[in-house]
Amino acid sequence: MTDTNNGANKKQEQLAAFRISHDTHKLTTDQGITVSDTDHSLKAGPRGPALLEDFHLREKIMHFDHERIPERVVHARGFGAHGYFQVYEPMAEYTKAGFLQDPQQKTPVFTRFSTVVGSRGSADTVRDVRGFAVKFYTDEGNYDLVGNNMPVFFIQDAIKFPDMVHAIKPEPHNEIPQATAAHDTFWDFMVNTPELAHMVLWLMSDRGIPRSFRMMEGFGVNAYRFINAAGRARFVKFHWKPLLGVHSLVWDEAQKLSGKNPDYHRQDLWDAINTGSYPEWELGVQLIEEADEFKFDFDILDATKLWPEEIIPVKRVGKMTLNRNVDNFFAETEQAAFCPANIVPGIDFSNDPLLQGRLFSYLDTQLIRLGGPNFHQIPINRPVAPVHNNHRDGYHRMTIDEGISTYSKNTLQNDHPLPDAEAGYTHYAEPVGGTKTRQREERFGDHFGQAALFWNSMSETERGHIVGAFRFEVGSVKDAAIKQRVVDLYNNVTSDLAAQIAAGIGAAPPAQSNTSPVTASSPALSQNDTAKSVRTRKVAILAENGFNDAELTQVMDALTSAGACPEIVSSKLGIITGAGGKQMNAGKTFLTGPSVVYDAVYIPGGVKNVSALAGQGDAVHYINEAYKHCKTIGATGEAVEFLGGCCLSGVSVASDKNTVNPVCDFGVITVINASQTDIFCNEFISAVAQHRHWGREKHICTVPA
């Protein structure tokens, strides 16, 4: 029987061999020489010049000067965590990959999430694509599944990648703007490269501003192959489905978070793991028989196209759990090197022209970023499988390779290390042939059909958000001709969208309306019907001295029992005392715990508590901002009247002391009668689980047609 923790333990033990604790130890140089003083350089007298012989000064400054390595060109800002993957049932019918066979085996993983455009110092919550890269430390070697939180990509061929990145990065003459597509060069490239139309719709949707890494889908994007032991191949695409559902921020909230907590997504993942709320994703695969490669009205190798789940279902085959934060960000997250060329037997590549370029690019970029060809020997990148080959020397070589033979074939070491013709990796024997050409397959030319499918699949709320995003991004463009060309290009998708974009950016509506021939929709593309849970949701409890002890305690206990994370927010940090003498700790203030970092807000009753809150503009603003962002708001007892004094458009706060008032679908839950608090708790928790209450937007931030 396989040791269920064998793989995970093996990687932890491997990393532990490189881990150093400096607690209780004396300070030394890098050569192990104990240091007597690290605050004063060696001088010729107290006011004399520093001496060159001060080896400690020279080493300390030298190492500091060289601490930084080049940041990634794209995906520079990232955050990672350790965990494990378990398959649900043997996948031998489809692939011989070892880590997909034994449901008892825990395969260690390291997962890195990232933004694409911004620098390492940019904010987490900008509108951007998110990277979703997973390194599986399998017994057969490292397997890297390197993808994004969107199933399609901007371009079809890797040769366009430098152009796309140059266009979306800050403009070269002034290095402005940071971490955004809201500028001329990107949209100039976009209107001249219509294959971007589909991906840009995804970017303008709520997917571009996820609520957290934990509530974000992942996709392998490119088409790969599964190969089983009999040599049979199938095309495959990979999906990561978050168990908490797919949820997003609203734009105003994302903008404010960039200033109030630019590390919001990092902090969220770190805190969730530290508190034992381990994030989980199910791995899903879409499979297409080789005989069906040309069966569809799109080319399955076109990375700007997705495989609709209603046509090609997603089979959920296993689960990934992230359960351990890194010990050192630089040593692990920053030095982690991913490459889609890192595969194991049972997985192979397709002829996707974007993937073919990625196979070269990722490896090439590590050479300069991590200082040479031995980056695979950095602890975070080391496979748990043994490594034996004739690679030698180079920068930062960490192994001490024994023997005198460094070549194959040899007699001095009996030809070792030997290839393994039976168990070694063999590429799928795909027949290939053709005339050398710089062309793309004809079906790659449909740039608008799936963009229309995506638009058709969106809810009314999601469509409004897409229009608002276009109006901000394209509205930031200075060149009027580019703005007009964006409108004209999206008229190929749907005149409805094009006209709404035009109305907000000062462009003319389409001269001729276009009715897309694509009328189908795909419910899987909308976040409307995703999984919804109160687990790990953060709830701000606004309270001052004089709060109602019983109400606050009952609501906090109910939230905690449901898996939510309530925190008391007050005007000052420290102990606050209830009307009945109960003491609670306020861990956040209106400044350090703003409404944008919480999923919901609750205000307990208590005459003094409510009087104190009503007299503070920050408290009133807190409620109004949470309401604007469509979050659940709850109040009990005297706090209901306080809510009535806030500007909650479209809401009539209940005055009936004997009923809970859920106020339509607006997510404002109130009760005055204390005996109904248990009912309130159930209604409030149910409302928080809904994530947002979009019905409010018609009252607070409508997008004109």
Q: Are strands 315-325 and 78-87 parallel, antiparallel or unpaired?
A: antiparallel
Query: Are 205 and 250 a contacting pair, CB within 8 Å?
Result: no
Given 142, 148, 149, 325, the catalytic residue: 148
Residue 53: C-alpha distances to residues 28, 35, 44 (Å):
17, 15, 11
Helix/strand/coil percent split, the chain, to 5 = 35, 15, 50
Helical axes 460-473 vs 251-260, angle rounded to 10°: 60
Structural contact between residues 217 and 320, judged by C-beta atoms closer than 8 angstroms: no
Q: How far apart are CA 9 and CA 127, in angstroms?
A: 38
- Position 418 scores a pLDDT of 87
pLDDT at 661: 52
pLDDT tens per residue across span 60-102: 898 889 999 999 999 999 999 999 999 999 999 999 999 999 9
- Residue 25, C-beta contacts closer than 8 angstroms, at least 6 positions apart: none
**Pick from 491, 503, 501: nearest CA to 194:** 491
In order of start, what are the domains of the chain with their CATH numbers?
78-381 (2.40.180.10), 448-525 (1.20.1370.20), 538-700 (3.40.50.880)
Which ranges of the chain have pLDDT less than 50? 1-2, 655-658, 662-665, 701-705
Q: HSE (CB half, 13 Å, CA atoms) of 441?
A: 15
Q: Tens digits of per-residue pLDDT, 558-582?
A: 999 999 999 999 999 999 999 999 9
- Name all contacts of 420-428 with Cβ < 8 Å and 24+ positions apart: 423/345, 424/345, 425/343, 425/344, 425/345, 426/345, 427/348, 428/225, 428/227, 428/231, 428/233, 428/348
CB atoms within 10 A of CB 635: 31
Q: Residue 515's pLDDT is what?
A: 78
**Nearest to residue 27, comparing CAs of 49, 50, 68, 59?**
59
| pLDDT given at position 658 | 46
Q: What does the alpha-carbon distance between residue 143 and residue 97 come to, in Å, rounded to a whole number?
A: 10
Q: Residue 18 has what pLDDT?
A: 87
pLDDT value of residue 702:
37
Cα angle: 251, vertex 254, 255; to 5 degrees: 90
Q: At CA 441, angle to CA 436 and CA 443, rounded to 5?
A: 175
Reported as a single tens digit per residue, the pLDDT across 160-207 is 999 999 999 999 999 999 999 999 999 999 999 999 999 999 999 999
Q: How far is CA 290 from CA 32, 92, 287, 393, 430, in A?
A: 60, 17, 9, 43, 10
Residue pair 303/517 in contact (Cβ under 8 Å)? The answer is no
- Identified catalytic residue from 22, 56, 66, 75: 75
Tokens at residue 701, please? 């931030």
Question: What residues contact residue 373 under an 8 Å CB cut-off, 6+ apart?
Answer: 367, 391, 394, 395
Strand spans (E) along 421-573: 538-542, 565-570
Cα 304 to Cα 450: distance, rounded to the nearest angstrom:
9
Q: 148 catalytic, yes or no?
A: yes
Paired residues of 288 in beta bridges: 235
CA pair distance 612, 544, nearest whole angstrom: 7
Burial class (CB in 10 A: 0-12, 13-18, 19+), 193: middle
DSSP 5-54: THHHHHHHHHHHTT----TTPPPB-TTSPBPS-SSS--BSSTTSPBPTT-
What DSSP character marks residue 698? H
CA distances (Å), 231 to each of 89, 228, 429, 563, in order?
A: 20, 5, 9, 47
**In this predicted structure, what is the pLDDT of residue 15?**
87
**pLDDT > 90 fraction of the chain, expressed in percent and rounded:** 79
585 assigned to active site: no
Nearest-angstrom CA–CA distance, 507 and 483: 7
Using one digit for the tens of pLDDT, what is the confidence trace for 631-661? Answer: 999 999 999 989 887 867 656 555 444 455 5
